[in-house]
Structure 1
């Protein structure tokens, strides 16, 4: 018999609508104004701190919803934005610079729904409010770092080839290799040209060979510096508890950072400026620290200080840079003392293996390096950065190290956790500077949401009325499918981790609402044609759906391809529009073809129908 729906289709429709409806639910509960407390570099957030915060709020008679300690951060939920400002200022005064205190918005999802993984849609900066930074990478420092690395590499390779040299030194963004005689210089030049095709070598006076990077290699260094910094900034922001950040490249040497929901610009800048570099160096055991303090520092060594102000004499040569670290975690060793477990990439593991093999039993220092912008600018007009170095750990090399090793001798579990955080987040290839910042207030974001919702609502009502008047009972079926389509879009957007709803994304939903009924219009008009051609109502429904399917599929595939191209080449708002457009196309195909067919078959299928209300 025509127009009978198999059981599996009923199950599929119920399952899909139920699943999307469940994950769309969190969007009905809204968000709480909140103040978030995250640990600083030398501090740890704990349950006892959460209890202290709660006690302080009670003593000040401040009304709050809840104080939660989860994922190594404290979240104070508050009833309104005015209370949020008061609590932020109070906690800022109480905790000082030891912790990050920032205003945020926290989903008010019920616990049972939260346990199922239900979260509201991620809103972009234009809807939720937050802070926007445009950051510039110091490319000169990136090139200097690469040149410094090639200096050490030249030394090792020339020693391996038994090519004796007087010295290898960095000369700006070039490397000067000074030899004792012309014959060795010629041999070294031949060897280096064959092994380093991306560098140029020029003979200079007094037996000096100058090596410089080619333009192509310099372009690669600049591109790598931006990409590496993007990855590390994203990791740092995620590690510090800032939810759903947007970090992406803009132009040749700039990075856009958007933190939706964060209203505290000063604290957001502190989080971003916490990014730094790390490296491992040997302690100079031959030199005397007392002599170094009086100004007599041995050649090839450098005097630095630890966190507690103790002087440490280190070798200038870097054993390993933090950019080679791919993972780090804190744990306890076999004696119950804190330690940090480190995993390196292939190149870093090979380098650490070679260096540690020759230095077993010697102390190795982990150096934390921070770049801070000064008020001075160079000849190129860019800010000059001040470099600050600090020894955060000294441990003895017990055995030859490889791609995986551990750092022991750490004073506390909190210090091990902080060190693992810094190592895991990686090291910046070059310092960065905030060149532009702006804040989008929550009131403006709220206004954008209200206007966007009005556009969606008005568009939806207009389409519902048109379908109801023009197609009567079949219009009711199409309207049910259209509402189901909107629910599915919201549910899918909430389920996809990387999907963010922006103002252009809301425009995509409005467009999808209009497009969603296109398929039903094609089907219903085809059914009318079949009826005019003399077919029975059951035959008209059957052939109407079957014959319209190929046309609907072709039209939606071409639009979906356009959406994929927008997503691939677009950035920011364009991506937001393309995501909602593509999701809307898929869900509208499902609701317009499968859901409406199930409803039509449920109402008219298998029955003696003399006339269709269409």
Structure 2
């Protein structure tokens, strides 16, 4: 090897850089361990809420020493920003994708136009979007064009005064479209900046926020964040701050009285109709009973109709119970002269609101109150009730004063010590605020401060008009909630609503367990590989082990220093898999050296030629795997992107260490004439004189594979696959119980609550994966809270009696019972994920086909390789379809499974390319041999390498399968893939390539003879 000195210097310097990068992680780990020990010492477990108190104590400790130098001038705060980032599955936290409503942006640009064509197009676009892969704006343009003579540049739509500088009345639709696209992009960018400012003030270390293409979607990752509800509220709040005059309780109560009487009258009418139907049904039933003495006992259609009618009559009990439909839902009445109209239980707000929205009920409003708007107040923490307010609306439904005038906001305390948020307005806002407060003082009324349609407070004005533009929001919120509210107001409002269409929440306890299982699987896999290499290759294997350890240092060092790189549990799996694959390069080299030694060459020449001859196979194998990794990196998200990142880094570092570092040790050992056998006494003559007729067995392999694929396809078409929420949408929760539970019993209770739900054992028998599609098309903080509460209620028979909802929800450290993680995927993004998965698999096949065609110059090689890959993918899918119903671990088809399929493709191609490379070599060296002998000879010569690599990789995968419980389905697919990939390289790819080559050769021979 030339330039050994340069390689040695580079390896040492690169190793030092990696150690330096990892030192930050070591510093943070050490300091945080000290902080944890301090918190444990200060707060014993006997203290109530000790977990949260310890968390606070840890934070205070870290804040106090954050700027103190620890080592070489490095502070904890410095180290924290440069440490190896851990993903959600290892650290806990929340990962969401927000969809900025392009519809809201369009309505805002059109000044909430009432134009029929505009609103018709919006309505049609909403329907189309349910099954569309296009962006909202593209579908809107398509639907708008369908309306005859509709003009985007109409004065009633976009040719308004706000857009007068960009859109004029005489512009065509095609001229308006790029303007709207630009305006929408500006609005989404504005939303991105608003969210970024909010997150920056939240206090989470290493947050990640990024736009996802042109879809209007924004990805937010907050590792380590625990207060899930608080974060969701922070992200989804549009910060639409409004100030409204309100009606007093006594001004609105006459309407409620009239509404109740109307609803009562309607209920009485329904009750009378049901009673009449019941009476008629009983008469018919009596008649049927008399007739039954003379007719057959078989139930007739008429009998069934009678039973249905009686059942309807029995269901009427709910109607009869409604004495006062509206008033029966009222839990309390507001005070005389106050802004609170009534108080209602939270569980009854949906029903109460539906009554008030009824057009016939609203028709009972007096003429001077026809624009009245009802709004719920802020829910006090722990309370089961909420207040109702009546706002003085107007024709345009626009407030006199909005949050756009706020220039500053901060958390404060009012005169009686309650948490408040003080705000400062600009000059225009101050003038309007003085006018509104002066009017309220004269009338003795209140002004409601409304944020995102929730009344936070409705203070009265007791000292006259307020000048200077200062105002205050008070309510039943904590200091943290007050800080968040001030943060939201300072950052500004979102230009449109932001809905969470995908979310993943991982509790800190589950994250720590993932770290433990990842380290365990990593240590065992590494130990097995190190032992195997020494057992098989002796001292040379020990040198390969040293190179392997250096390789691991390089991988973690690069991850720590690479901006945006995150270590995830699938990422650890990628590193462990890379260890198995990096051994392959050393196996290839050592097998080549052994061949050269067997030919009688000197040790120096054998080492030189062995490395040289193996290089082509090593590069081809790693490039094909790297190509699939790049595709995975492009299409994957979250943990899967972490898997792809570590896989690609591992390929690069393993190439360097196998080719250069191992060579340095081997050359250094042999320079003084020391002999290196590259084998042990047990393995010296293993596979030495093997002569298997692989091609002779190809027909048996074709039949066997054909039967396997047909059975698999039959299962795929009949019972399909167990598709996860990634592909079909839904909510899934990982819930841990204090004792073993029976999934079917739990599922029965869940179905009763949600209508449709699944419960499957995940890992231990006291942990379930619960999935439901209940209200999946609806989003928002209230919907998420409603479903979590329903889940808690449904699981009551299986949970400890003293467990509270707060303890059940995500957020606690050292958690042993409750929700450990949750995930939500909306139906729209589920379609996008499925589409991306399809293109990633198809794209990898096309890219690899072209690469092999380029490298081997014969399409027959590409055909054989791609056929083998198709074979492997179909076999894996078939086995999953056949076994998912009874396997004791999760076998859902999700993004992780797609990563596994792509890895199987990469591994299969890796194996196939090595075999093809040796066949190509035999074509040149043994050109006089018959084709079958050339191919069989090449396969037999690579058999030691093929089995060695497969065995080491399987050892790694089995170690992960046993200890990394959340990855068992993922690992199972890889284990199948390795076994099937090894088989297909020998018995599918090579025979198909050989058959096509021989047929082409036969045709050419016939042409020549003719």
Q: Normalised by the shorter chain, which TM-score bucket?
A: 0.5 to 0.7
Which residue pairs with 1:537 in the alignment?
603
Question: SS at the partner of 1:122?
Answer: coil
Change (3 A) 1:563 1:225: farther
SS of residue matched to 2:607: helix
Correspondence for 1:16 among 14, 24, 29: 14
Alignment of 1:175-254 (within 5 A): 175=159, 192-194=169-171, 197-199=174-176, 225-226=187-188, 228-247=190-209
Is the alpha carbon distance of 1:493 and 1:142 closer, same or farther for their aligned partners in structure 2, counting shifts above 3 Å? same
| Superposed displacement of residue 220, structure 1 | 6.9
Q: Matched residues in 1 for 2:104 and 2:590: separation?
A: 66
The change in CA–CA distance for 1:499 and 1:534 in structure 2 (over 3 A counts) is same
Question: Does structure 1 residue 595 correspond to structure 2 residue 572?
Answer: no
Residue pair 1:31, 1:107 contacting (<8 A) in 2 also: no
- Secondary structure at 2:174's aligned position in 1? coil
Q: 111-120 or 531-540: which moved more?
A: 111-120
Query: Partners in 1 of 2:94 and 2:67 — Cα distance?
Result: 19
CA apart distance, 1:596: 0.9
Shift of 1:137: 2.8
Structure 2 partner of 1:263: 226
- For residues 170 and 91 of structure 1, the distance between their equivalents in structure 2, rounded to whole angstroms, comes to 60
Query: 2:613 matched to which residue of 1?
Result: 547
Kindly state the Cα deviation for residue 472 of structure 1 after the two structures are TM-superposed.
0.3
Shift of 1:487: 1.3
Which consecutive residues of structure 2, in runs of 5 or more, have no partner in the other structure? 42-46, 114-152, 242-392, 407-421, 432-448, 456-465, 470-483, 680-1010
- Aligned residue number for residue 86 of structure 1: 53
Cα distance change on mapping 1:473 and 1:311 into 2, 3 Å? closer
Which of 648, 661, 677 lines up with 1:612 in the alignment?
677
The match for 1:7 is 5
Matched, 1:145 2:145: no
Q: How does 1:400-415 map to 2 (within 5 A)?
A: none
Q: Which residue number in structure 2 is paired with residue 527 of structure 1?
A: 593
Higher relative contact order (CA 8 A, sep 6+): 1
Q: 1:409-449, CA deviations, whole angstroms, 9 ceiling, x for partnerless residues? A: xxxxxxxxx9xx99996863323245776642111011111
C-alpha distance 604-4 of structure 1, shift in aligned 2 (>3 A):
farther
**Which of 535, 539, 561 pairs up with 1:495?**
561
Cα distance in 2, alignment partners of residues 585 and 392 from structure 1: 68
Query: What does residue 507 of structure 1 align with?
Result: 573
Aligned residues: 415
- Aligned counterparts of 1:134 and 1:236: Cα–Cα separation in 2: 16
Conserved in 2, the CA contact under 8 Å of 1:129 and 1:439? yes
Q: Distance in 1 between matches of 2:504 and 2:526?
A: 34
User: Are residues 579 and 263 of structure 1, via their aligned partners in 2, closer, same or farther at CA, if it must alter by over 3 Å?
Assistant: same
Superposed counterparts of 1:319-338, under 5 Å: none
Cα deviation digits, residues 17-47 of structure 1 (max 9, x gap): 222123234444564898xxxxxxxxxxxxx
Residues 232 and 525 (structure 1), Cα distance of their counterparts in 2 relative to 1, 3 Å cut = farther
Secondary structure of 1:550's match? helix
Give the TM-score of the pair, scaled to structure 1.
0.55
Checking the alignment, whether the CA contact within 8 Å between 1:130 and 1:439 is kept in structure 2 is: yes
Secondary structure of the corresponding residue to residue 429 of structure 1:
coil
Q: 1:362 maps to which residue?
A: none
**Structure 1 contact 33–81 (Cα < 8 Å) conserved:** no
Q: CA deviation at 1:221?
A: 5.9
Cα distance, 1:82 vs structure 2: 7.0
In 1, Cα distance between the equivalents of 2:58 and 2:543? 55
Gapped runs of 5+ residues in structure 1? 35-53, 55-61, 67-79, 96-101, 151-167, 178-187, 200-213, 279-294, 317-368, 376-390, 395-417
Contact 2:238 2:495 in 1 (8 A): no
Q: 1:504 Cα deviation (Å)?
A: 1.5
Per-residue CA deviations over 1:312-348 (Å, capped at 9, x if unaligned) read 54699xxxxxxxxxxxxxxxxxxxxxxxxxxxxxxxx
Structure 2 counterparts to residues 107-506 of structure 1, below 5 A: 110-112=70-72, 114=74, 119-133=82-96, 135-148=98-111, 171=156, 174-175=158-159, 192-194=169-171, 197-199=174-176, 225-226=187-188, 228-247=190-209, 255-269=218-232, 271-272=234-235, 276=239, 312-313=427-428, 372=452, 374=454, 428-434=494-500, 439-506=505-572
Structure 1 residues 422 and 484, CA gap change in structure 2 (3 angstroms): same
CA 1:7/1:86 → structure 2, altered by over 3 Å: closer, same or farther?
A: same
The 1-side partners of 2:103 and 2:430 are apart by 24
> Would the aligned equivalents of 1:228 and 1:428 in 2 still touch at CA under 8 Å?
yes
Tell me by how many angstroms 1:492 deviates.
0.8
Residue 123 of structure 1, CA deviation: 1.0
* Aligned CA distance change for structure 1 residues 63 and 248 (closer, same or farther; 3 Å): same
Shift of 1:547: 2.3
For 1:552 and 1:241, the matched residues in 2 are separated by 47
Q: Which secondary structure does the structure 2 equivalent of 1:131 belong to? A: strand
Alignment partner of 1:501: what SS? coil
Is contact 2:234–2:488 with CA below 8 Å preserved after alignment?
Answer: no
In the alignment, the residues of structure 1 paired with residue 191 and residue 601 of structure 2 have an alpha-carbon distance, to the nearest angstrom, of 67
